[in-house]
Structure 1
Amino acid sequence: MDQRLSFITLVVGDLEVTRKFYVDGLGWEPELHEVGEVLMFRVADKVVLSLWAESFFVEEVGKTPTRGGVPPITLAHNLATRAGVDTVLEQARTAGAAHVREATEREWGGYSGYFADPDGFRWEVAYNPGAIGQSVLP
């Protein structure tokens, strides 16, 4: 198996609420939108973020996902500057992010904060001056 990731799929409770947050609030452009079923965004050259309505997940996978608490996963959006981090966190707040944790200087040398999408998935918004952090910037 090649060392790569093609899709990141998150199960969402209300696809329309999710669409409004990502498309109307954050300004993202969908690659594919099957109303009521799935919303996909190309997030890198060969990586897609897929937001899948729970009923379709259950139909295919066969089990209802566990709900409650903070999902044990974070997604990260890296930026080239600290100011960029603050701008994106404010954009998420304006888009209706349920939870925003202000950015702070981190012991690893970076600067990051978090927001939650409508289903509680946490996004880290980060400036990472290290080589690996810089390697993921556009």
Structure 2
Amino acid sequence: MDQRVSFITLVVTDMDATRRFYVDGLGWEPELHEPGEVLMFRVAEKVVLSLWAEAFFVEEVGQRPARGGVPPITLAHNVATPQGVDTVLEQAAAAGAKEVSEAVRRDWGGYTGYFADPDGFRWEVAHNPGEIGQSVLP
């Protein structure tokens, strides 16, 4: 098996709220949108973020997703500068992000903060000055 990820799929409870947040609020352009079912964004050359309505997840997978508390996953959006972190966090707050936390300097040398989307998925916004952090920038 090749070492790669092609799709990251998150199950959402309110597709309309999800679309408003990502498309209207953050300004993302959908690669595919099936109203009420799925919303997909190309987030890298060969990686798609898929936001899938819960009913369709249950139909295909056969079980309801676990709910309650913070989902045990984070997504990260790396930027080139600490100022870029603050700018993205401000954009997320303006888009209606839940629980935006101020960015702070981290022990490992980076500068990061978090916001939550309408379903509580945490996005880390990070300036990572290390080699691996720089390697993921466009």
Task: Pick the TM interval, shorter chain.
Answer: over 0.9
**Alpha-carbon RMSD:** 0.3
1:107-118 to 2 correspondences below 5 Å: 107-118=107-118
In 1, the alpha carbon distance for the partners of 2:128 and 2:98 equals 25
Alignment-derived partner of residue 67 in structure 2: 67
Q: Under a length normalisation based on structure 2, what TM-score does the superposition of the two structures give?
A: 1.00
Misfit runs of 4+, over 6 Å: none
> For 1:19-41, what per-residue CA distance to the aligned partner results, in whole angstroms no more than 9, with x for missing partners?
00000000000000000000000
Alignment-derived partner of residue 46 in structure 1: 46
Alignment-derived partner of residue 3 in structure 1: 3
Q: Matched residue pairs, number?
A: 138
Gapped runs of 5+ residues in structure 1?
A: none
Gapped runs of 5+ residues in structure 2?
A: none
> For 1:23-60, what per-residue CA distance to the aligned partner results, in whole angstroms no more than 9, with x for missing partners?
00000000000000000000000000000000000000
Alignment-derived partner of residue 36 in structure 1: 36
Alignment-derived partner of residue 132 in structure 2: 132
Alignment-derived partner of residue 15 in structure 1: 15
In 2, the alpha carbon distance for the partners of 1:22 and 1:108 equals 30
The CA deviation at 1:98 is 1.1
Identity %: 81
